[in-house]
């Protein structure tokens, strides 16, 4: 549990950097949505340190953490940007835009299974989400610097390695 507490302490010390990244990513996405004529509402957050600690403690049961790198490889949502579309048919346009602006390493979808019901066919599927894990793409995003897991550069790794 010491590795988790040390990581969270380091995360807290870097929170302002995560928050800056959150604002920059959201700003780039908002501008490009607007320029593309896509009507959407965006929101964003840097993960709360307390919630991060809770998540790490829960996940450590299945994924033991020995180093900071173990945690960084497991947790991918230190920063999150939500795009709520007015028109669900714009999802493909948004996916293309995200792929243009960022390198998408992988994408998770929820729900991952389509509901089937022989009696009733839904006109609207309800809540669904597509979560791309992104990193920067060249200079497309006004020199936006986002590393693999949206991690700021820091001395945490040096302290961890000692």
**Can you tell me the distance from the alpha carbon of 125 to that of 131, in angstroms, rounded to the nearest whole number?**
17
- The CATH number given to 2-152 is 3.30.460
At 72-119, the pLDDT tens digits run 888 888 888 999 999 989 989 998 999 898 888 877 776 665 545 545
**Can you tell me the distance from the alpha carbon of 109 to that of 52, in angstroms, rounded to the nearest whole number?**
22
On average, the pLDDT of the chain sits at: 78
- Identify the residue with better confidence: 129 or 44: 44
**Domain regions of the chain by residue span:** 2-152
Instruction: Using a cut of 0.75, tell me whether the model's pTM lies above it.
Output: no
Burial tier of 124 (Cβ tally within 10 Å: 0-12, 13-18, 19+): exposed
Q: Are 3 and 65 in contact (CB under 8 A)?
A: yes
């Amino acid at each position: 549990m010491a590795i988790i507490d040390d990581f969270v302490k380091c995360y807290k010390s870097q929170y302002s950097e995560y928050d800056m990244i959150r604002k920059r990513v959201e700003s780039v996405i908002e501008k490009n949505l607007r320029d593309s004529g896509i009507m959407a509402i965006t929101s964003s957050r840097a993960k709360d340190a307390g919630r991060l600690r809770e998540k790490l403690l829960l996940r450590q049961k299945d994924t033991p953490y020995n180093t900071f790198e173990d945690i960084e490889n497991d947790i991918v949502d230190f920063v999150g940007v939500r795009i709520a579309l007015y028109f669900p048919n714009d999802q493909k346009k948004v996916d293309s835009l995200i792929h243009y602006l960022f390198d998408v390493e992988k994408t998770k979808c929820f729900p991952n299974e389509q509901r089937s019901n022989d009696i009733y066919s839904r006109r609207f599927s309800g809540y669904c989400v597509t979560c791309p894990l992104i990193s920067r793409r060249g200079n497309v995003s006004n020199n936006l610097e986002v590393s693999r897991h949206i991690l700021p550069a820091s001395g945490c790794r040096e302290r961890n390695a000692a």
